[in-house]
Amino acid sequence: MIKFDEANKIFHLQTKNTSYVFGFLKDRFLVHLYWGKKLVSEQLDYDMFLDYMKYRRNMCASDYNDIRLSRDCLPSEFSTFGNTDQRTPSFHAVYKNGSFITELSYDSHIIYKGKKPLKCLPATYVENDDEADTLELTLKDELTGIKVVLSYTAFNELDAITRSVKVINTGADRVRLDAVLSAVVDFKDNDYDFIHLPGAWARERHPERVSLMTGKQIVDSARGNSSAQHNPFFALVKKDTTESMGDAYGFNLVYSGNFTAGVEVDPYNTSRAFIGINPFGFEWQLESGEEFVSPEAVLVYSDCGLGGMSRIFHKLYRTRLCRGKFRDIERYVLINNWEATYFNFDEEKILNIAKKASEVGVELLVLDDGWFGKRNNDNSSLGDWYVNKEKLPGGLTQLARKVNELGMKFGLWFEPEMVSPDSDCYRAHPDWCIHSKDRIRSEGRNQLVLDLSRQDVCDHVYNSLYENLSTVNISYVKWDYNRTMSNIGSALLAADKQGEFFHRYILGLYSVLEKLVAEFPDVLFESCSSGGARFDPGMLYYMPQTWTSDDTDALERVFIQYGTSMCYPYSAMGAHVSIVPNHQVGRTTPISARGNIAMMGQFGYELDLNKLNENEIEAVKEQIKTYKKLGSVFHSGSLYRLVTPENGNFVSNEFVSEDKNTVIVSNCVMRAVPNSPVYYLKLQGLDVNAVYLLEETGKCYGGDILMSAGIPYQLTKDYDTRILVFKKQ
Ligand code: GLA
């Protein structure tokens, strides 16, 4: 619900459990008043929020109408550069006369039920107008004609708030936008920890929690993709916030390109949180009459700790960000040949893998990198998306048919945004890659990035995929992206528009994806980027799952999946069992641990099952059966991280089905501790009055007992894992 108090000019956004309040102080300054636990009070006025200004009289005039009032001490809802607010601006533009001052004041607003799509950008959506309310507040700079429309949507039941910003140039002259952040939120204190998800290739999203310091702390990407190094997510939590208790504020950007996300703490201990497109490497020339739309920021508050925050993100993303027929149905158990063969395969090898897989219940075979052009290593052929007849003389059609005859579906790997210098594509179109005239074209993994800011290149990418998807029976596409961008430049952009490159690239990518997923609704798309270097909500809008990491080691995956689950649901995480010793870290873990840890996500195998012994094959059969039985609870149930890996040697994740009838507890001990104490694990989110049967033992427990007294656990071997299933009686 969104209320507007006309007399005080206060907007009050309410979701099921939260309130977000801001308004026009004395008709002039758009101030942020409150975000947190839901306020039921109807009487909101400025004094109750801004009394603290009295104590800062020496810094700012105490009379709100006083022209000397310093905005540097006002909590702002949208800050522009060029006035007395000296902190990180939401908006920064340069006008024809060279001035970079913007002064915005109220123009108009509308409040309506539902939510409109964002033009050319991914965003959360509603299926029914009653699910959310939207406010569009328009501000205007009289001098320049720049209008800024702030859009807020309050998702009622889903408990989240989304924000985005549209800039409209109603003036006569072109304006250069230098920064348009999607959300800025001012907090009145600095008593928070900053949690973010740093990482690297094969070690993505390991959460880091640090105290706020005075000054700016920023995580960002200027690599062209959201990246493995940082994720466009952060949370601010109180010092005493835990997994299950305390205030947690989560920020996430629905965007796959360069971003900035951070907090600025001023000398008076206020904290300004911000998230949006990275202003570094961004410029946008906005002609008279044109509009610029920022990506969407998702803001989540929970007073139930990090777990409460994550559950809100999970449900929102699972049900109102992901789209298409695969959103709500269980996906395929797949087998991927990458770690089994790398580039070294032929039809016979692939069919051998497929045959064994079909016998144990695997549903789809993915042919990974190396099936096209003359690609036998990573030196060539990206861009030449036609089959390598030496490896597959019967072509993809024959291979797909033979896989289908085994009762399995067929999936294929592409890296559509890339081109190898050694490819027919590059030889024919050397200007199609990202490059700057007369500069070297730095390669990453021996490849260049195609320039998706160009329509002709986007068309080529679309057509290459279309050609394969419309002629071969392909049920799944792995869309990879294996290097970051460098030597930025586009052959078609004018000199004064080169600064638009990064964002134009992402818009081009999104336009191709939108067309493809609309054209092929029966194909399951999974995004990938050297593992999980583009695990962001932007990609999830087009593809409901992402390959979480190239690191398939069970122990490392415990950490990666834990960090990823801060913001993203398990239904979005591709997770496979691979061979041991593990190819990334050399570790040997039991097949049970590899299976139990992978099956929380979108489950599959990344090995040649012919190489397993009989016991392992039996274990695989059991895993697939278990997954078929429990997968829907892992994916659509509520996640309670009962024990997190950073707290020691033991990890426990609990999944509660929406109807609370099935509860799964997945436990893992990393390192055996001889003669270890017995611990009690207290479950969460159960029906207190119900009785639950533990399937393994046939014993019944009251929901209250499981939550308050807990159940004993003790795992005694290295990488010992156990899945407990409780059924409500
Ligand atoms: C990336 C992916 C891998 C695999 C290879 C193929 O690294 O993350 O899963 O597809 O590319 O080259």
Is residue 296 in a domain? yes
Q: At residue 25, does pLDDT exceed 90? A: no
Give the containing element (helix H, strand E) for 163.
Answer: strand 160-169
Interior angle at CA 262, CA 259 and CA 263, nearest 5: 155
Q: How many residues comprise the chain? A: 729
CATH code at position 370 = 3.20.20.70
pLDDT over threshold 80, residue 63: no
Ligand 1 atom having least distance to the Cα of 531: 8
- Select from 550, 578, 584, 605 the residue to mutate for testing ligand 1; criterion: most ligand atoms less than 8 Å from CB: 550
604 lines ligand 1 (CB under 6 A): no
Whose Cα sits closest to atom 1 in ligand 1?
530
Percent of the chain with pLDDT over 90: 91
Count of structural domains within the chain? 3
Task: Kindly give the distance from the C-alpha atom of residue 582 to the centroid of ligand 1, in angstroms, as a whole number.
Answer: 16
CA–CA separation, 405 vs 413, rounded Å? Answer: 21
Mean pLDDT of the chain, nearest integer:
95
Question: What CA–CA distance (Å, rounded) separates 698 from 149?
Answer: 59
Q: How much is the pLDDT for 109? A: 98
Confidence of residue 597 (pLDDT cuts 50, 70, 90): very high
Please give the pLDDT value at position 165.
98
pLDDT band at 716 (very low <50, low <70, confident <90, very high): confident
- Do 624 and 663 fall into the same domain? no
Q: How confident is the model at residue 561 (pLDDT cuts 50, 70, 90)?
A: very high
Mean pLDDT of 493-501: 97
**In 333-413, which residue ranges form alpha helices assigned H by DSSP?**
338-341, 347-360, 395-405
Looking at the fold, whether 708 and 587 belong to one and the same domain comes out as: no
Q: Where are the alpha helices (DSSP H) in 304-394?
A: 305-320, 338-341, 347-360
List, in order, residues 6 or more apart from 289 with CB less than 8 Å away.
Answer: 169, 170
Residue 480 designated active-site: yes
Decide whether any atom of ligand 1 lies within 6 Å of the 482 Cβ.
yes
Residue 446: inside a domain = no
**Residue 641 burial (CB count, 10 A):** 21
What distance in angstroms lies between residue 344's CA and the mean position of ligand 1's atoms?
Answer: 14
Are 684 and 244 in contact by the 8 Å Cβ rule? The answer is yes
Return the CATH number at 312.
Answer: 2.70.98.60
Tens of pLDDT, residue by residue over 437-456, are: 999 999 999 999 999 999 99
Write phi, then psi, for 102 (nearest 5 degrees).
-130, 130
Please check whether residues 196 and 159 belong to one and the same domain. Answer: yes
**CB 131 less than 6 A from any atom of ligand 1:** no
pLDDT per residue as tens digits for the range 602-648: 999 999 999 999 999 999 999 999 999 999 999 999 999 999 998 78
Q: How would residue 382 be classed by pLDDT, with cut points 50, 70 and 90? A: very high
Residues 568 and 698 reside in one and the same domain? no
628 shares a domain with 553: yes
Q: Residue with the nearest Cα to atom 12 of ligand 1?
A: 369
Per the CB < 8 A criterion, the answer to whether 520 and 475 are in contact is no
The torsion angles phi and psi of 592, rounded to 5 degrees, stand at -65, -45
What is the rounded distance in angstroms from the CA atom of residue 672 to the CA atom of residue 609?
Answer: 28
List the one residue out of 397, 409, 417 whose CA is nearest residue 366: 409
**Contact present, 372 and 384 (Cβ < 8 Å):** yes
Q: Is residue 372 part of a domain?
A: yes
Q: What is the pLDDT of residue 587?
A: 98
Ligand 1 mean position to 480 CA, how many Å? 7
Rounded distance between C-alpha atoms, residue 385 and residue 404, angstroms = 22
| The two structure tokens encoding residue 591 | 């097949």
Q: Is the CB of 531 under 6 A from ligand 1?
A: yes
Tokens of 153: 């949507």
Q: Is the confidence at residue 289, as pLDDT, over 60?
A: yes
72 and 148 housed in the same domain? yes
Same domain assignment for residues 659 and 625: no
Please work out whether the CB of residue 413 comes within 6 Å of at least one atom of ligand 1.
Answer: yes
- Indicate whether 410 and 538 sit together in one domain: yes
Taking each continuous run of H as one helix and of E as one strand, the counts in the chain are: 13, 38
Query: Of 345, 371, 482, 576, which is best to mutate to test ligand 1, by the most ligand atoms within 8 angstroms of its C-beta?
Result: 482
- CA torsion 183-187-190-195 (nearest 10°) is -40
Q: Whose CA is nearest to atom 11 of ligand 1?
A: 530
Domain coverage including residue 607: 334-417+455-486+522-632
- Ligand 1 centroid from CA 97, angstroms: 50
> Which atom from ligand 1 is nearest to the alpha carbon of 550?
8
Distance 456 CA to ligand 1 centre (A): 27
DSSP 378: T
Q: Is 547 in the pocket of ligand 1 (CB under 6 A)?
A: yes
For the segment 255-269, the average pLDDT, to the nearest whole number, is 96
The verdict on residue 366 lying in a domain is: yes
Nearest to 606 by CA among 548, 525, 559, 691: 548
pLDDT of 397 reads 98
Q: Is 259 in the pocket of ligand 1 (CB under 6 A)?
A: no
Buried-state track 677-699, b at ≥16 Cβ within 10 A, e below 16: eeeebbbbbbbeebbbebeeeee
Directed axis angle between helix 455-471 and helix 501-519, to 10°?
Answer: 20
598 Cα–ligand 1 center, Å:
18
Residue 712 lies in a domain: yes
Helix axes 614-636, 347-360, angle to 10 degrees: 70
Q: Are residues 343 and 295 in the same domain?
A: no
CA distance 684 to 693: 16
Ligand 1 centre from 413 Cα, in Å?
9
Q: Hey, which of 345, 368, 605 would you mutate to test ligand 1's pocket, going by the most ligand atoms within 8 Å of its Cβ?
A: 368
Looking at 275, 294, 320, which one is the last position of a domain? 320
Q: Whose CA is nearest to atom 6 of ligand 1?
A: 369
Q: Which atom of ligand 1 is nearest to the CA of 378?
A: 12
Which percentage of the chain shows pLDDT scores above 70?
A: 97
* Nearest residue to 516 via CA among 447, 579, 563, 470: 470
Q: Can you tell me the distance from the alpha carbon of 480 to that of 360, in angstroms, rounded to the nearest whole number?
A: 28
Q: Is 63 a catalytic residue?
A: no
Domain closes at, from 297, 320, 343: 320
Pair 249, 397 in one domain: no
pLDDT of residue 72: 84
Q: Residue 713 above 70 pLDDT?
A: yes
- Lowest mean pLDDT of 44-48, 646-650, 655-659, name the range: 44-48
Residue 669 has pLDDT above 70, yes or no: yes
H or E, element range at 650: strand 650-656
> Do the Cβ atoms of 557 and 563 come closer than 8 Å?
no
Q: How far is the CA of 342 from the centre of ligand 1 (A)?
A: 9
Nearest to 473, CA basis, from 410, 567, 386, 392:
410
Give distance in angstroms: CA of 481 to centre of ligand 1.
8
Q: Structure tokens of 432? A: 């199609």
- Is the pLDDT score of 477 beyond 70? yes
The Cα 412–Cα 406 span in angstroms is 17
**307 and 224 both lie in a single domain:** yes
Selected catalytic residue, list 220, 550, 553, 720: 550
Among 608, 601, 558, 555, which residue's Cα sits nearest to residue 582?
A: 555
Question: CB atoms < 10 A from the CB of 7, how many?
Answer: 6
The Cα 227–Cα 276 span in angstroms is: 15
Q: Which two tokens stand for residue 391?
A: 């490896």
What CATH number is given to the structural domain containing 669?
Answer: 2.60.40.1180
Output phi, psi for 453, to 5 deg. Answer: -80, -10
- DSSP structure class, residue 425: H
Dist CA 718 CA 461 (whole Å): 47
Tell me, yes or no, whether 382 lies in a domain: yes
- Among the options 247, 369, 480, 608, which is catalytic? 480
The letter for the amino acid at 644 is: T
Neighbours of 489 (CB within 10 A): 16
368 Cα nearest atom in ligand 1? 10
Contacts of 211 (CB under 8 A, 6+ apart): 192, 193, 194, 239
> Which residues are bridge partners to 444 per DSSP?
447
Asked whether residue 248 is assigned to any structural domain, the reply reads yes
Q: Which two tokens stand for residue 460?
A: 């080529």
Using a 6 Å cutoff on CB, does residue 550 contact ligand 1?
A: yes
Side-chain-facing half-sphere of 561: CA atoms under 13 Å:
32
Q: Within a domain: residue 506?
A: no
Closest Cα partner for 194 from 131, 160, 238, 164?
238
How many angstroms separate the alpha carbon of residue 574 from the centre of ligand 1? 13
Is any ligand 1 atom within 6 A of the Cβ of residue 141?
A: no
Q: Is the pLDDT of residue 294 over 90?
A: yes
Residue ending a domain, choose from 582, 605, 632: 632
Residues 551 and 677 occupy one common structural domain: no
